[in-house]
């Protein structure tokens, strides 16, 4: 369960999230700032027991899309990497649309010999704010393919090449410094 209440520490954020497990034990507390868009999805992409978080968080003029690795032992989430989300109708990615969080319904995943893989590309022309920018710890923002139905099919997406299956470890090693 995720309970959101008014923050008791406004230096860290105006919202306090209390994460509670099925035994009603608090597994972590997070402070966040209220935003126009604040979406979470959970998916297990690695070998640990905690699912990773896919987060879309931000405002009308820009949303940050990222994957986080949860760690209930130290009660922290570790940023794995930021992404560019796209929606496609199939894993062949013939038609692509920008992946707005309200349009996303799932993630393309496959299990290959016990390794979970996601459909992605690290070879694309997507620019943010008119520039090819990326966070300091990343050499590129990968494109991740999601399932969904676009509510804005007229929004164009720049060229994306070499869409293929990556494990989270393979993708992380190719895009981080």
Average pLDDT across the chain, whole number: 89
pLDDT of residue 20: 93
pLDDT band at 72 (very low <50, low <70, confident <90, very high): confident
Q: Work out the average pLDDT over 18-28.
A: 92
Q: Which residue has the tokens 């978080």?
A: 53
pLDDT of residue 132: 60
pLDDT of residue 136: 72
Residue 164: CB partners within 8 Å, gap ≥ 6?
119, 120, 121
Q: Which helix (H) or strand (E) holds 164?
A: strand 164-167
Q: Give 81-125 as a DSSP string.
A: EE-EEEEESSTT-SSEEE--TTTEEEE-EEEETTEEEEEEESEE-
Task: Give tens-digit pLDDT for 81-111.
Answer: 999 999 987 666 678 999 999 999 999 999 9
**In this structure, are residues 134 and 141 in contact, taking their beta carbons and an 8 Å threshold?**
yes
Residue 114: CB partners within 8 Å, gap ≥ 6?
none
Q: Give 40-83 as a DSSP string.
A: EEEE--SSSSSPEEEEEEEETTEEEEEEEEEETTTTEEEEEEE-
User: Cβ of 35: how many Cβ atoms within 10 Å?
Assistant: 15
Is pLDDT at 170 greater than 60 in this prediction?
A: yes
pLDDT band at 74 (very low <50, low <70, confident <90, very high): confident
pLDDT of residue 139: 85
Q: Work out the average pLDDT over 32-49.
A: 91
Distances (CA, A) of 109 to 44, 164, 173: 10, 11, 19
Q: Work out the average pLDDT over 111-116.
A: 93
Task: Give tens-digit pLDDT for 127-162.
Answer: 765 556 567 788 889 999 999 999 998 887 888 999
Burial of residue 66 (number of CB atoms within 10 Å: 0-12, 13-18, 19+): middle
Instruction: With CA atoms as reference, report the closest residue to 65 among 138, 140, 127, 144.
Output: 144
């Amino acid at each position: 369960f995720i309970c959101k209440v008014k923050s008791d520490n406004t230096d860290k954020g105006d919202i306090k999230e209390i994460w509670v497990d099925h035994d009603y034990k608090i597994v972590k507390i997070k402070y966040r700032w209220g935003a126009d868009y604040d979406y979470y999805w959970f998916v297990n992409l690695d070998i640990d027991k905690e699912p990773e978080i896919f987060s879309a968080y931000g405002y009308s003029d820009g949303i940050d899309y990222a994957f986080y690795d949860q760690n209930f032992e130290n009660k922290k989430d570790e940023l794995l990497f930021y992404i560019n989300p796209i929606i496609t109708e199939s894993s062949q990615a013939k038609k692509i649309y920008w992946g707005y969080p309200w349009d996303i319904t799932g993630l393309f995943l496959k299990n290959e010999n016990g390794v979970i893989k996601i459909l992605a590309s690290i070879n694309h022309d997507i620019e943010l704010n008119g520039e090819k920018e990326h966070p300091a710890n990343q050499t590129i923002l990968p494109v991740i393919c999601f399932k969904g139905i676009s509510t804005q099919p007229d929004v164009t997406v720049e060229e994306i090449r070499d869409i293929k299956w990556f494990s989270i470890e393979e993708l992380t090693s190719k895009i981080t410094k």
